[in-house]
Structures are given as structure tokens and as C-alpha cells.
Amino acid sequence: MIVTFTANPSLDRAVDLGDALQVGEVQVARSVREDAGGKGINVTRVIHSAGRDSIAVLPLDADDPFAGALRAAHVPAMAVPLAGNARANLTLTDGAGVTTKINLPGVERTAADGAALIEAVVSASAGADWLVLAGSLPPGLPDDFYVAIIEAVRAASSPPPRIAVDTSGPALSAVVERGAPDLIKPNEDELAELAGVALDPHLPLPEAVAAIAAGLVPSRVRAAFVTLGAAGAVLVTPHGSWQGTPPPTRVRSTVGAGDSSLAGFLLAETAGADPAECVRTGIRYGSAAASLPGTQAPAPADLPTGDVPVRTLTP
């Protein structure tokens, strides 16, 4: 079982423009779709589509239109009944696959809301293999809210689930400083911001990313799976680092691609795959997500068949 938690879910509206975005002009969209989004929800959708057990914990007002979108997506969920509608995020994709994303802040949450969410995550995590804490925190919750969840889950479960975190900014900094997560999944910019150092321009991107991540692993995090978009992904563990390159992909929307990469990585890891295969599977799922419109969860049938070479960066 893989449990995910999304503190700040979103109704994702994806608009396909067909042509390049013309700022300040009136354009007619080619198509539009709505999906129940949020990083943890996306991870659960992918895992569920692969036939594996996952449940998404999230706040949800019974009168929120988001509830209908969630049901339509057939996402196994534990909804915490809290007032306030989920935010709406807008994604504009042009004919070349270039994505412009506008995210709203979300409902302001109270301390009582936070306590209810922590209680739900602790309950759902009993007996789980992994707990994924994913996405931004809504207004009102402190930067160390994920740390509070980690502490509560580890205190309540024996053995506790391993914990993966996919967030950024102060929330990620707090987790790495005090939460000792088993896995983080930043992109290269989020990793550089976390470490407070710039990527070395004299090194190829994978080597520059691995060098920064090695400063965090294993002293502050157990492992780092860093997604690099078209450049693939890098995994750094106490035992070495690996980099994988994606197959050629016709990009339709990058929204949710990183979430799908994390889901693919966890699917492989929980199946007992070695690090190289975990990287390979993560990249396949991320590439599949990028080839689909909107925030769609790739299923195994959507995975690209092209080669995904993985090389060892360090022994």
C-alpha cells in the first residue's frame, strides 16, 4: 500500500491553444479538459492505474465541484471533511508543447484543520509501505507541517512507512532540516534552492545535480530522485548514483509528469527492482504523462516502448 497526502488539491483546467501563446491577444482554444489534480492525487491515480494499492488523503468539502471530478477519475480516496472549495489551476499548452501554468493559493486552513488532516494521514498510514507527502501547503498551515505529519506517523506506526516528499521552497527545507525523509523528489531548480548552491555550469546537468544531492544523502535524506524533464532523472543513494535518459517523446503537457515519475519509481521500488530499474520505470511513467493532454494518469499501456538507457554516475 502506498498512501499519498495532498494538502492543497486543485481542479486542473488544461487549455490546448494549438498555436503559440499570444500575450495580450484574444485566442480561440483548440480544446479544454478538467481533471482532479494535486501531486499526491496524481501519484495515487498512476499507482491505481497500474493495479497496485494506493489511497489519496485530502481535504474535501462535500459541496465542492472537485468531489465530482475526483469520483469521475476513480481515485481511491480518504476525504477529510473540511470547508472550502479546492483551488482551480490553469494550464495553457501551445502547439509545441510549451506549458504555462497559473496556480492559485488555495483555501486558508486553520490549526484545527491541520490537526484533522494529521489524524487522517496517521490513520491511513497504518501498515503502509510508503507515505508520499506531495505538493504545496495551503495558506494557514506552517512551513513545517509535513514535519509534524512525519513525526506523528512515525510515533504511531511500528514499523512506520517509508516517507517520500515532493514539495519545494520552505516546506522542503523544513522536511530536510528536521524530518529525515527516506526520499525527496525535487527537480534541478528545487534541489539547487534547497541546497543553497548553484548548479555547476562546467559539469553536465546530471553530474551537477548528483554532486549537489550527494551533499544531502545520506546525512539529511536517505535518497534523492531528481527529475530533469527532457534530460531524464538522477537517483542518488548512499550506495551510488544513476542517471537515465528518456526515449523520444511528443510532449503534449508536462503537468503531472514529475508526479508520474515518482509513482513509477515507487511502483518499481516496491516490486523489489534495483536502483537502475527504479530510475528507468520512473522515466517511462514521466514520459508517458508528458505525452498525454491535461493532467492524465498514464496506465501501463501508455508507457513508451523506446529504450531508456541508465548509466552509473558513481560506483
* CATH assignment of the domain containing 25: 3.40.1190.20
Alpha-carbon distance 315 to 205, whole Å? 18
What pLDDT, on a 0 to 100 scale, did the predictor assign at position 256? Answer: 75
What pLDDT, on a 0 to 100 scale, did the predictor assign at position 3? Answer: 98
What pLDDT, on a 0 to 100 scale, did the predictor assign at position 128? Answer: 97
What pLDDT, on a 0 to 100 scale, did the predictor assign at position 293? Answer: 67
Alpha-carbon distance 159 to 4, whole Å? 18
- The answer to whether 87 and 107 have CB atoms below 8 angstroms apart is yes
Report how many domains make up the chain: 1
Give me the average pLDDT of each 10-residue run along the chain (315 residues).
96 84 86 87 95 97 90 92 92 81 90 98 97 96 98 95 98 98 97 95 95 96 96 96 88 79 97 97 93 76 90 82
Dig out the grid coordinates for 172 from the structure: 522542503
Residues sharing a CB contact under 8 Å with residue 274, sequence separation 6 or more, in sequence order = none
Residue 96 CB neighbours (<10 A): 9
Alpha-carbon distance 252 to 290, whole Å? 6
Please give the residue range of the domain that contains residue 218.
2-314
Alpha-carbon distance 55 to 76, whole Å? 5
